[in-house]
Structure 1
Amino acid sequence: MKNTYLTALALIAASAISLTACSQEDPTLEDHANQQLVEQEDMAENEDNADNGDELSKNEEDEIDNEDPAEESEDDMEEQEEETASIFGNQEDTVYISADRLTVRADSREESESLGSLVKGNEVKVMNEAKIENETWYQVAHHNPTVNEGWISSEFTVSNLNDLHSISSFDNDELNEFFTSPTLFEENTIVAYYGHPNSEVMGIVGRHPVKELIDLLVETADSYDAADDSKGAVPAIYLVYGTVQPGGEIYKMNYDLVMSYIEEAYERGALVYIDHQMGRHHPAYSIREILSFLRYPNVHLALDPEWRTDKPMQEVGHVTGAEINEVQGIMQDYLLSNEIPGTRQYVFHQFVEKMIHTIEDVTTDYEQVLLVHNTSGWGSPEGKKATHDNTAEATNIPYKGFKLWYHFSDQPGVHYDDPLMTPEQVLELEPQPGLVIYQ
């Protein structure tokens, strides 16, 4: 498994496509091959790949603390339920997996056929319930086509997201309203740090502990605040949750690791973007894998078309305008059906024209979803500006983003912007990006 994850990091490094001289040509395979020569850090073994159908016995699943909660009055319980509904939306008939991995079975018996597994944090709808002796089983529905329906033991589920958190709640009403405001993007420059916590090569997120990272992030956001007194500046962490693997498989970040960043960011007044690279999977499937994170008010979602392929490093992937619209619709339906308030962003990246087919078909007619078209790629300021000019031609997508690459290493295959554009230069771009991402 270890070599697989090292390869995944090499693939991420390969996403640095040169924009020098305003080139819009495809990256060469030689350039991709050079990327693989970069020395990579080990990533922790993936504990939560829900596509892995290995059968686990009940004894192999993580033990869940089942201590009786303290007694509460009915009024207190009703008040807490109302607060939870307002923060996380409607959780009726919904449960969340609390074990690191939980087997899904063909019927409500431990010895029945294993259909696959779910991982911690997965959200499922309860369709039916059965009591077998002293144990309760749920028949559940999940978006994963390999385990779309099946039976799980209720012992390893919780019905309230608060039961999965290390902080007490996400109950700062003023902050929640700010994070989900429909004017957040227009009134602020969102400044994000990009990467994976376990990889220095993938971006700045992996080069600092989370508390130190946010300290640096706030300083960078402050520089944008100082450069434009007509707007505020909001810090954000951009996490690559789903990392492409050879053959288009996806390595998924551990749920507890993701939540540690969401929680720390919330307490520090920062947003979090959850990014999925898709690989061989359809955009609709990929976005559904991360939808439940929208229950947290500081979370927005992203997909990266470059890696929507089963031949990473051999070809640049793509999505269509219709697929972008479909993803927006899925997000909006999820927000509405679960009564989750506010507006959320959906970010997608582009550095060459072929990454987005029929971009003219993209619409922005989704009231609770704000679509962000992000200019990606590394290179000189002139090349990056030329690429941004190209993305600006898609006037049907008015909200734009812009990505920058820090210098990290002079090793062959590690790319960076030379020189790095200043906040003032970034804010002079037309249209002005509302999201600025630093890798």
Structure 2
Amino acid sequence: MPARALIAVLMAGLFSQPAPKSATFLSDHLLVTWYGNPRSTLMGILGEQSGAARAAALKAQAAAYVPHTSKKVAMAYHLVAVVATCTEGADKMWRRRETAEVIQALLDEARANGFRLILDIQPGRSTIADEVEALIPFLSEPDVDLALDPEFAVGGCEVPGRQIGELEAAEVNGAIARLELLLKERRLPPKVLIVHQFRNDMLPDKVKIRDSDVVDVVLVMDGFGSQTLKKSTYREVMRRPLAFAGIKLFYRQDTNLFTPAQVLGLKPTPALVIYQ
């Protein structure tokens, strides 16, 4: 068993008791998010705009979903807070942790507009457990959620971006358990945990990923391309679904971008839509 998976197993054993049951967020909300990092225009729409213009544009995109769902439409900034890198860095973990100042500034902007903030982890050669722990000061906030990206979870001699990575269920379950403990200790409302996937081997034992009473675990299909390709990949990924479904749309890479009506016509119906 890889070291990072062993750490996750131990972590899940320590933090396996969920907080008291309460209504979950995605049971009555559709969450529309903008993905990226403010330091880069290449990582997604979040870095292509800023300030009031960025907030207004996300509100306009989310409003397009209102006529097509009976759920409340909520919005979030989706920040890649741990960025996989093509160089090893001082600690040889092949990832860069975003500064607290950048995260706090985006959280402040999100709150000013009634948005949530999602912190996305591209772990490189680090562990999910270590990266989640580093983000606990922000995950302790009631409106901050978490995302895990297996594509950039590599080990051994692998380099993020050159090989497609993977996460074992134990690592995901460890993150779920850590959030459950945090919610119990801080008396926080339910949170969302996103897991990205576009190939089956990114989550080799996905069937072992557990559900939670207080953490909405979302499987997001985030491959890009034509509508035909995306529908096919969505069907394949969702053959083994998690508690909630989601999809990522790419403003630049997708051809014939899905409309809100088309998104909500997918089965299972997405509870989360990410725009990159």
* Superposition TM-score tier, normalisation by shorter sequence: 0.7 to 0.9
2-structure distance, mates of 1:182, 1:354:
33
* Residues 25 and 192 in structure 2, CA contact (< 8 A), matched pair in contact too: no
Query: 2:93 aligned with 1:245, yes or no?
Result: no
Q: Aligned-pair distance for 1:340?
A: 3.0
1-structure distance, mates of 2:266, 2:51:
30
Query: 2:259 aligned with 1:422, yes or no?
Result: yes
**1:35-56 Cα shifts (integer Å, max 9, x gaps):** xxxxxxxxxxxxxxxxxxxxxx
Query: 2:173 aligned with 1:352, yes or no?
Result: no
* Residues 295 and 340 in structure 1, CA contact (< 8 A), matched pair in contact too: no
Query: 2:271 aligned with 1:434, yes or no?
Result: yes
SS of 1:436 mapped into structure 2: strand
Larger radius of gyration: 1
2-structure distance, mates of 1:210, 1:380:
31
Higher-RCO chain (CA-CA 8 Å, sequence separation at least 6): 2
SS of 2:27 mapped into structure 1: helix
2:166 corresponding residue in structure 1: 318
1:73 corresponding residue in structure 2: none
Name the amino acid aligned to 1:434.
A
Query: 2:240 aligned with 1:394, yes or no?
Result: yes
1-structure distance, mates of 2:137, 2:127:
18
SS of 2:263 mapped into structure 1: helix
1-structure distance, mates of 2:120, 2:269:
22
Q: Among residues 190, 205, 209, which one is paired with 1:362 in the alignment?
A: 209
Query: 2:217 aligned with 1:371, yes or no?
Result: yes
Matches within 5 A, 1:207-356: 207-228=48-69, 230-246=70-86, 247=88, 248-309=93-154, 310-337=158-185, 339-356=186-203
SS of 1:185 mapped into structure 2: coil
Name the amino acid aligned to 2:234.
H
Q: Aligned-pair distance for 1:257?
A: 1.5
Q: Aligned-pair distance for 1:403?
A: 0.1
Q: Aligned-pair distance for 1:182?
A: 3.1
Q: Aligned-pair distance for 1:314?
A: 2.4
2:230 corresponding residue in structure 1: 384
* Residues 24 and 216 in structure 2, CA contact (< 8 A), matched pair in contact too: no
2:15 corresponding residue in structure 1: none
Q: Aligned-pair distance for 1:232?
A: 1.8
1-structure distance, mates of 2:243, 2:182:
24
SS of 1:190 mapped into structure 2: strand
* Residues 210 and 261 in structure 1, CA contact (< 8 A), matched pair in contact too: no
- The change in CA–CA distance for 1:233 and 1:385 in structure 2 (over 3 A counts) is same
SS of 1:319 mapped into structure 2: coil
Name the amino acid aligned to 2:109.
E
1-structure distance, mates of 2:159, 2:210:
29
Matches within 5 A, 1:114-193: 182-193=23-34
* Residues 24 and 215 in structure 2, CA contact (< 8 A), matched pair in contact too: no
TM-score computed with the length of structure 2 as normaliser? 0.86
SS of 1:186 mapped into structure 2: coil
Q: Aligned-pair distance for 1:261?
A: 1.2
Q: Aligned-pair distance for 1:238?
A: 0.3
1-structure distance, mates of 2:99, 2:51:
15
2:13 corresponding residue in structure 1: none
SS of 1:349 mapped into structure 2: strand
1:87 corresponding residue in structure 2: none
Q: Aligned-pair distance for 1:198?
A: 1.4
Percent identical pairs in the alignment equals 30
TM-score computed with the length of structure 1 as normaliser? 0.55
**1:331-353 Cα shifts (integer Å, max 9, x gaps):** 2122223x232111111100000
SS of 2:46 mapped into structure 1: helix
**1:199-245 Cα shifts (integer Å, max 9, x gaps):** 111101111113211100000110001222x1221111100011111
1:127 corresponding residue in structure 2: none
Between the two proteins, the alignment pairs up a number of residues equal to 247
2-structure distance, mates of 1:186, 1:369:
11
1-structure distance, mates of 2:182, 2:140:
10
**1:143-194 Cα shifts (integer Å, max 9, x gaps):** xxxxxxxxxxxxxxxxxxxxxxxxxxxxxxxxxxxxxx73321212111000
- The change in CA–CA distance for 1:183 and 1:305 in structure 2 (over 3 A counts) is same
SS of 1:373 mapped into structure 2: strand
Name the amino acid aligned to 1:383.
L
1:72 corresponding residue in structure 2: none
2-structure distance, mates of 1:333, 1:297:
14
Return 5+ residue gaps in structure 2 as ranges: 1-21
2-structure distance, mates of 1:361, 1:295:
26
1:203 corresponding residue in structure 2: 44
